[in-house]
Amino acid sequence: MEHLCGTVSGQIRWHYCVLAQPHHQAPCHSLHQASCCCLGYCYGSTYLAHCAVYADKDYIKRRIIWDSISLLLDVEIPAIVGGNFNYILSQDNQRGGKPFTPTEVHNEFVSFLANNDLHDGWNGRQHYSWCKNKKGKARMWVRLDRVCFNSAALSALPGSAVTHLTRIGSDHCPLLVQGRKLSLNRRATS
């Protein structure tokens, strides 16, 4: 099996891989870059939007990223959006630290996911993807990293699952996307 890896802004702070059948492997071309967000369409015999995200801690910069991705995604085209979103969805996404309180920023992130038909591909196993490497009560585990699929991608990549790999040399876990079968439409020619 071959794989497609995404990194953002030249930093290898995290990565995620999409495993595919070798005959479906194709190079990605960058179409857009906004802050720390890259979007590319993979060409060849397949048509798949692939977006690698490294969202800033600043919510205003994150809003620009969400807006940029939203402008470029199409619900008809299978899309995988993954990386460090730098935000959690609920208290269940965090252990340690201050209690989670939903805010307007939370609503923006939830709206971004809903408006773009993005569904979390988490496999239900290892829950936290980032660790504040402190000792004792100061240690904090958070699920900042995720890979989301739109409905078209869920149909095109049946049985896909996201696994958090072991942290090595980073405070983030790499994310691995695996699927049993890749069934994407051929790219339309103009």
Task: Domain ranges for the chain, please list them.
Answer: 2-6+15-178
Instruction: Determine contact, residues 129/146, Cβ cutoff 8 Å.
Output: yes
pLDDT at 40: 54
Strand partners, 50: 40, 80
Cα distance between residue 166 and residue 128, in whole Å: 11
pLDDT at 39: 52
Model confidence at 76, in pLDDT bands (50, 70, 90)? confident
Tell me how crowded residue 119 is: count the other CB atoms within 10 A of its CB. Answer: 14
Q: Strand 175-178 to strand 11-20: parallel, antiparallel, or no bridges (unpaired)? A: parallel
Higher pLDDT, 12 or 189: 189
What class does CATH assign to 2-6+15-178?
alpha beta
Instruction: Determine contact, residues 118/162, Cβ cutoff 8 Å.
Output: no
Strand partners, 150: 118
pLDDT at 188: 42
Q: Which of 37-51, 128-142, 168-182 has the lowest mean pLDDT?
A: 37-51
Cα distance between residue 15 and residue 12, in whole Å: 7
pLDDT at 32: 41
> Is 90 exceeded by the pLDDT of residue 113?
yes
Higher pLDDT, 19 or 135: 135
Cα distance between residue 45 and residue 25, in whole Å: 9
Model confidence at 158, in pLDDT bands (50, 70, 90)? confident
Which two three-digit tokens encode residue 184? 């994407």
Q: Which whole number is the average pLDDT over 116-126?
A: 80
Cα distance between residue 92 and residue 146, in whole Å: 14
State pTM to two decimals: 0.73
Model confidence at 10, in pLDDT bands (50, 70, 90)? very low
> Is 90 exceeded by the pLDDT of residue 115?
yes
> Is 50 exceeded by the pLDDT of residue 34?
no
Share of the chain above pLDDT 70, in %: 66
> Is 60 exceeded by the pLDDT of residue 36?
no
> Is 90 exceeded by the pLDDT of residue 92?
no
Residue type, position 71, single letter: L
> Is 60 exceeded by the pLDDT of residue 21?
no
Q: Strand 79-84 to strand 130-132: parallel, antiparallel, or no bridges (unpaired)? A: unpaired
Cα distance between residue 115 and residue 126, in whole Å: 27
Average pLDDT, the chain: 70
